[in-house]
Structure 1
Amino acid sequence: MVSLVYHDYSGFSNSTTFGEAYQNFSQLTDLNWVEKVWASYYYYMNNDLFATGLLIFVLHEFMYFGRCLPWIIIDRIPYFRKYKIQDAKLPSEKEQWECFKSVLTSHFLVEAFPIWFFHPVCQRIGISFEVPFPSWTTIALHLSVFFVLEDAWHYWFHRGLHYGVFYKYIHKQHHRYAAPFGLTAEYAHPIEVMLLGFGTVGIPIVWCLITKNLHLFTVCSWITLRLFQAVDSHSGYEFPWSLHNFLPFWAGADHHDEHHHYFIGSYSSSFRWWDYFLDTEAGPKGKSDREKKMKIKAESKKTL
């Protein structure tokens, strides 16, 4: 069995190592180095199902915990305390360790199984993993669409998890830490992991079912960016260079930190517009903005 990552191996020599596989793909002038590495990996693994499962699982673990590591270090450096949103609440080493164990357990017992069977889903619905990749403009377009759609999914289902039994038996676990830190991004009940996780994985699947146009490299890029966004929003730090200071509609850590602090409001993941237009922003600023809107509305009625 030969990998389906490329359509023509007629000019290739026999290879038994990754390096030899890469040398074969290096002969192809129409591929960039990322595509050559990608194709060499699949060709070397010689089992597309296993290769995709291993790729996504390792990618998820490396990107998630790799992005958490800087925040763990920052939490131990006094200099950064001035940027801590809730500066009186630093996670202890015990809390960090317990959260790490819980998240890692969830990764292996909840998320690993569907990850390992993602390749048959790709084949079934038409998610390509072949080289060459789509154009960078196509990848950027797909990533933008996924961010917007996931944010809508996250807002409504996250908001729903704050009602009655859904909060008590499911979402309350995620609110164990009123002052979040990086590792808490995926600290959640298994049902919540699957429900909100569908926004990350399910939306690309639905997109491909509708458009018949999606590449696995785009999915990997999307998962990486979504993980970074989730971890950063739980970091508990607000810097002068934080992205929302340059893109006002970006949510960021200050937006989500208030959600944890006040246990209600600010339900969006990446953007602020759902909370803004539906008056669900959390904290004093959200309350102040609502009061201003009510005052303007009342004054406009008086003039009629």
Structure 2
Amino acid sequence: MKRSHNRSRNKKTGKADKNLDMADFQSATTVHDKKTHSTSGAQQPSLLSSLWSVLFVISSALIGFAAFRNTLTWHLQRFWGASGDFWQALWDRLLDVTGEDPFTFWVYGTTVLTVAVYWIFGGIYTILDVTNKPAVLRRYKVQPGTNEPVDTKRLLQVIGWVLFNQIVVGMPIAYLSYVLMKWRGSPPLRELPTFHWVLVEMAVHILMEEIGFYYSHRVLHSRYLYRFIHKRHHEWTAPIAVTAMYCHPLESIFSNLLPIFLGVFIMGSHVATAWLWFSLAILSTLNAHSGYHLPFFPSPEAHDFHHLKFNQCFGVLGVLDRIHGTDTLFRNTRAYTRHVMMLSLIPPREAFPDESKCSSKQRN
């Protein structure tokens, strides 16, 4: 009698647990809000500290980008022996070959560029995931033991959906962006903007993406939208780089493409500036989904934690998460301690080991 009672109780418990898991899975944001009310309290940041965070993140990104651009320009000018404005001269040569049709640049050029950047750099990560080589890089895994190697069937499914989103969904959106930019009034195609103005525009692009992505992403985590749209992207609780655009077509439009286009439209950016920004945004999301916390790369810990827990870290920069308290649980984990750019070859999990490992070392 005792055993049969336990079995029936286990069956009921199993069903209850399954229902609870599904409820949590489909309404993660609601669950988080309840936790935040009960646990965060004094941890809510002030508006001033959040504004400082915005300035620090954006200025750091722009300084790094400016340093990289200046170094690259200097080396290229020495290599080719170019004089004057190197980038303008290079752009003029391109226009002399392709012509100056804005449609070609905004629609075909944008599609070719973004697909190429995604698959060249995403392909490098995919080779690492498929071959598990070089083995030393596995020390940099955010979630050790996952996708080692990645499942081929799941990977092929991802590749198919990403190509669909990039071509079947992406090209019409590229055409729409061309129409909007034509209506908005974009600068002359032949003349590139000054580098300092590009930096100003980049700051706006970064800010607009953070706003657009954070709120659209949180909406996708609402009960019904999550179930029918966003759930596909969260099939990967330990993401790999090319899953960055593995999502429902509606999510691809409203949460991936629209946020990065917002700043371009507001600023009336030159197509070359837009291309530069789209490339940087793609590299950022590939890194955030890569599953590797590599030295001298921006930390992917926050977005990886989002895939693991569903109800934390909705933004790109983490600024709006701090303002809205949607990183409370994350900030109380070891992953948050590791959420820095590593400036040495020591893997983050070794530099900042889990607390249980720290305790056992101290006891020994």
Fold equivalence (TM over 0.5): yes
Q: Does 1:133 align with 2:188?
A: no
Q: Does 1:105 align with 2:152?
A: no
- Structure 2: any 5+ residue segments left out of the alignment? 1-82, 336-364
1:39 corresponds to which residue? Answer: 92
2:286 corresponds to which residue? Answer: 231
Candidates 52, 57, 63, aligned match of 2:117: 63
Given that 1:50 and 1:116 are in contact with CA atoms closer than 8 Å, whether structure 2 keeps it comes out as no
Given that 1:259 and 1:282 are in contact with CA atoms closer than 8 Å, whether structure 2 keeps it comes out as no
Q: Which gives a bigger RCO, structure 1 or 2 (Cα 8 Å, sep 6+)?
A: 2
Candidates 199, 222, 234, aligned match of 1:163: 222
CA shift in 2, pair 1:283/1:178, >3 Å: farther
Q: Does 1:151 align with 2:205?
A: no
Cα deviation code 1:224-254 (max 9, x no counterpart): 11111111100011134333xxxxxxxx310
In the alignment of these two chains, the number of paired residues is: 247
Within-5 A mapping of 1:222-261: 222-243=277-298, 252-261=299-308
Candidates 263, 274, 279, aligned match of 1:219: 274
Cα deviation code 1:18-47 (max 9, x no counterpart): xxxxxxxxxxx86x3432333333343336
1:204 corresponds to which residue? Answer: 264
Given that 1:180 and 1:234 are in contact with CA atoms closer than 8 Å, whether structure 2 keeps it comes out as yes
Candidates 249, 259, 269, aligned match of 1:190: 249
The structure that is helix-richer by fraction is 2
Q: Does 1:81 align with 2:138?
A: yes
Candidates 270, 275, 284, aligned match of 2:321: 275
CA shift in 2, pair 1:273/1:46, >3 Å: closer
For 1:118 and 1:284, locate their aligned partners in 2 and report how far apart those are by CA, in whole Å. Answer: 36
CA shift in 2, pair 1:239/1:268, >3 Å: same
Q: Does 1:92 align with 2:147?
A: no
The CA RMSD measured in Å over matched residues stands at 2.4
Cα deviation code 1:264-298 (max 9, x no counterpart): 110012x1222123221175544799xxxxxxxxx
Given that 2:192 and 2:272 are in contact with CA atoms closer than 8 Å, whether structure 1 keeps it comes out as yes
119-128 vs 218-227, which deviates more?
119-128
CA shift for structure 1 position 68: 0.5
TM-score by length of 1: 0.74
Kindly provide the amino acid, as one letter, of the partner of residue 136 in structure 2.
Y
Given that 1:89 and 1:179 are in contact with CA atoms closer than 8 Å, whether structure 2 keeps it comes out as yes
For 2:291 and 2:236, locate their aligned partners in 1 and report how far apart those are by CA, in whole Å. Answer: 11
Given that 1:178 and 1:260 are in contact with CA atoms closer than 8 Å, whether structure 2 keeps it comes out as yes
- How many percent of aligned residue pairs carry the same amino acid? 22
Given that 1:262 and 1:283 are in contact with CA atoms closer than 8 Å, whether structure 2 keeps it comes out as no
For 2:191 and 2:224, locate their aligned partners in 1 and report how far apart those are by CA, in whole Å. Answer: 48
Kindly provide the amino acid, as one letter, of the partner of residue 229 in structure 1.
S
Given that 1:262 and 1:282 are in contact with CA atoms closer than 8 Å, whether structure 2 keeps it comes out as no
Given that 1:266 and 1:280 are in contact with CA atoms closer than 8 Å, whether structure 2 keeps it comes out as yes
